[in-house]
Structure 1
Amino acid sequence: MSYRPSFAELNAFSAIAAHRSFRKAADELGLAPSTLSHMMRALEAGMGLRLLHRTTRSVSATEAGAQLLERLQPVLRDLDLALDEVNGFRAEPRGSLRINTNEAGARLLLQNVVPMFMARCPEVEVDLVTEGRLVDIVAEGFDAGVRLGEAVPHDMIAVRISGPTRFVSVASPAYLQQHKHPKTPEDLKQHRCIRIRMASGKRYRWEFEKRSHAISVDVPGSLTLDHHELMAETAARDLGVAYLPEHVAAPWIARGDLCVVLADWCPVIPGLFLYYPGHRHVPPTLRAFVAVVKEVADGGNA
């Protein structure tokens, strides 16, 4: 075959086929979707083959495209590895580092880890994306993610960034004076509760455990929120029982604005972890970031 595709065309095809989306591939590569569309038309014309099925709603590889992708991905990974090894001769990493995290994880990283990392690696651009929903960090083009330990996929490498934590149910003293204290999670069905809406749109069922007996309760309530600080503030205004991370509730409890209820039903759970794929080559930027995370954690600052 006289036609030899360019590296840019093959790299673009690999990203589109892997994401099954021109938009997501464009976001990963920093190009416009129209540019990728033009590159694919040129690639298919040059090769004399249709590599992608396109509809208004989806993109998928043809049989020929799937075979090309299968052969191409290891080659691109080896190329990335070779370039990373050569870049190891630089005095410091450079490039970009994309991390998907929730708000609590972002706040924790910004306290110590990110400032230390940026001081050591000024040539790296850090992109922290905060959102409540769990995402596939590989499919979404992230280098790493941050979530509670129990939510980290089992095939990922996890590095602790915080100590164990727990969720607690709280209410204001005034509210508890007017309503009977709940003794079991089921008693919450007789209370006004401030419910939690997750990023997926579903309302969260409050989870409790005592002496290995676990229970989840779909609590009643006429108010639903999606932000922990707002829930603490609302509970302190006597509007009901809230279910919060202990570190969020702690200042309100210390001031006497909130009281913990069902304390013996609120177990300790694993804290926050930075996680990343264990089956892929770890780029120098992420290796340097992980090193800072471990250093901060070992120093008791995380």
Structure 2
Amino acid sequence: MRTTDLSELAAFDAVARHRSFRRAGEERGVTASAISHAVGNLEARVGIRLLNRTTRSVSLTDAGAMLLAQLSPAFGEIGSALDALNQFRDTPFGKVRINAPNSIAPFVFGPVMGTLIAQNPKLELEIVATDRLVDIVDEGFDAGIRLGESLRDGMTAVKIKPRLRLTVVGSPAYFETRPVPKAPADLKDHVCIRNLYPSGAAYAWEFSRAGKIIAFEPAGPLSLDDHELMVEAARSGVALAYVWEERARPFIERGELIECLASWCAPEDWLYLYYPTRKHLSAGLRAVIEALRV
């Protein structure tokens, strides 16, 4: 098989998995037009349309679906063969793409990125931090990170560090005119930021102690979906914030924020790195897992 043939097949495989010429181009490191040209050449050569294209979507024809079903295992074997060469190298080689929630990515990767890259200089680590819900298979990630190990079938989860905790913070200026809350019930007398998911839906502040669980739903004038903004709002004295303790820690230590209800703020579920069970576990991904695992 010619190199151009394999390149065209790889371009088709990427488009078929992502259902997008743009995302396929990002994965392959080329432009969307280059991907489109390669797939067009492949279709012309085999004489069969493999993709249905509209201005808004890309879908597989029956022939394209059949080709993808046979190509995917083959490309998996090629990837495994290439990764096997790592045994002849001092360190892993190649790209590892990981998706992680934006609000917690700094706490997961901040402590390990420098050492991980220094010890694996031929490793290319691509971290995409977003709080939107991502399908790591459809979007071409090698692995993802999330709270809790409740995953869909076909995924393997590895417990990683750190274990995080949400806490309530307010500024000294805020508490000049209000008492520090001693129990979750006291929050009804305070101005509290509403926490939002990326979808715009609000979620409750959750507390637990001695087996008792309490959910408090703020009704304040400020609604935010970014923990950094929440911290800044709390520092300004406008309201109390419910944020990752690690995000607020530097300001707590400097006296710019006061932590409240600490005895009611239990640690969250563990974080997990997850990846498709059937996917070949590359040496690069193994190196990332070893750096993160508990």
Which bracket does the TM-score occupy, shorter chain normalised? 0.7 to 0.9
Gaps of 5+ in 1: 298-302
**1:147 alignment partner in structure 2:** 146
CA deviations on 1:86-125 (whole Å, 9 max, x unpaired) are 34323332222222233543354233x2222222221222
Are the aligned partners of 2:149 and 2:272 in contact in 1 as well (CA < 8 Å)?
Answer: no
Structure 1 residue 55, shift from structure 2 partner? 0.9
Structure-1 separation of matches of 2:232 and 2:41: 57
> What is the SS of the residue equivalent to 1:6?
helix
Does the alignment pair 1:96 with 2:95?
yes
Letter in 1 for 2:89: R
Structure-1 separation of matches of 2:291 and 2:149: 23
Structure-1 separation of matches of 2:287 and 2:262: 40
Letter in 1 for 2:145: V
CA deviations on 1:216-258 (whole Å, 9 max, x unpaired) are 3331122233443442343233322110112233343344443
- TM-score if structure 1 supplies the norm length? 0.82
> What is the SS of the residue equivalent to 2:203?
coil
Are the aligned partners of 2:148 and 2:272 in contact in 1 as well (CA < 8 Å)?
Answer: yes
Letter in 1 for 2:157: I
Structure-2 separation of matches of 1:123 and 1:165: 31
**2:156 alignment partner in structure 1:** 156
Structure-2 separation of matches of 1:253 and 1:174: 14
Structure-1 separation of matches of 2:200 and 2:66: 38
> What is the SS of the residue equivalent to 1:199?
coil
**1:114 alignment partner in structure 2:** 113
Are the aligned partners of 2:49 and 2:61 in contact in 1 as well (CA < 8 Å)?
Answer: yes
- TM-score if structure 2 supplies the norm length? 0.84
Does the alignment pair 1:15 with 2:31?
no
Are the aligned partners of 2:107 and 2:246 in contact in 1 as well (CA < 8 Å)?
Answer: no
Letter in 2 for 1:99: I
Structure 1 window deviating more from structure 2 (78-87 vs 151-160): it is 151-160
**2:53 alignment partner in structure 1:** 54
Structure 1 window deviating more from structure 2 (36-45 vs 54-63): it is 36-45
Structure 1 residue 206, shift from structure 2 partner? 2.1
Does the alignment pair 1:198 with 2:197?
yes
Structure 1 window deviating more from structure 2 (74-83 vs 95-104): it is 95-104
**1:292 alignment partner in structure 2:** 291
**2:68 alignment partner in structure 1:** 69
Letter in 2 for 1:284: A
**2:240 alignment partner in structure 1:** 241
Structure-2 separation of matches of 1:123 and 1:98: 14
Structure-1 separation of matches of 2:180 and 2:221: 19
**2:230 alignment partner in structure 1:** 231
Are the aligned partners of 2:159 and 2:270 in contact in 1 as well (CA < 8 Å)?
Answer: no
Structure 1 window deviating more from structure 2 (61-70 vs 209-218): it is 209-218
Give aligned pairs, total.
291
Structure-2 separation of matches of 1:67 and 1:140: 21
Letter in 1 for 2:6: F
Structure 1 residue 71, shift from structure 2 partner? 1.7
> What is the SS of the residue equivalent to 2:136?
coil
Letter in 2 for 1:270: D
Are the aligned partners of 1:106 and 1:128 in contact in 2 as well (CA < 8 Å)?
Answer: no
| Map 1:260-271 → 2, pairs under 5 A | 260-271=259-270
Gaps of 5+ in 2: none
Structure 1 residue 67, shift from structure 2 partner? 1.4
**1:85 alignment partner in structure 2:** 84
Structure-2 separation of matches of 1:248 and 1:39: 46
Structure-2 separation of matches of 1:193 and 1:150: 30
Structure-2 separation of matches of 1:227 and 1:46: 50
CA RMSD, aligned part only?
2.9
| Map 1:121-200 → 2, pairs under 5 A | 121-149=120-148, 155-162=155-162, 164-176=163-175, 178-179=177-178, 182=181, 185=184, 187-200=186-199
> What is the SS of the residue equivalent to 2:285?
helix
**2:30 alignment partner in structure 1:** 31
Letter in 1 for 2:42: L
Structure 1 residue 212, shift from structure 2 partner? 4.1
Structure 1 residue 213, shift from structure 2 partner? 4.3
Structure 1 residue 53, shift from structure 2 partner? 1.1
Are the aligned partners of 1:95 and 1:285 in contact in 2 as well (CA < 8 Å)?
Answer: yes
Structure-2 separation of matches of 1:266 and 1:242: 13
Are the aligned partners of 2:171 and 2:235 in contact in 1 as well (CA < 8 Å)?
Answer: yes
Structure-2 separation of matches of 1:234 and 1:41: 52
> What is the SS of the residue equivalent to 2:219?
coil
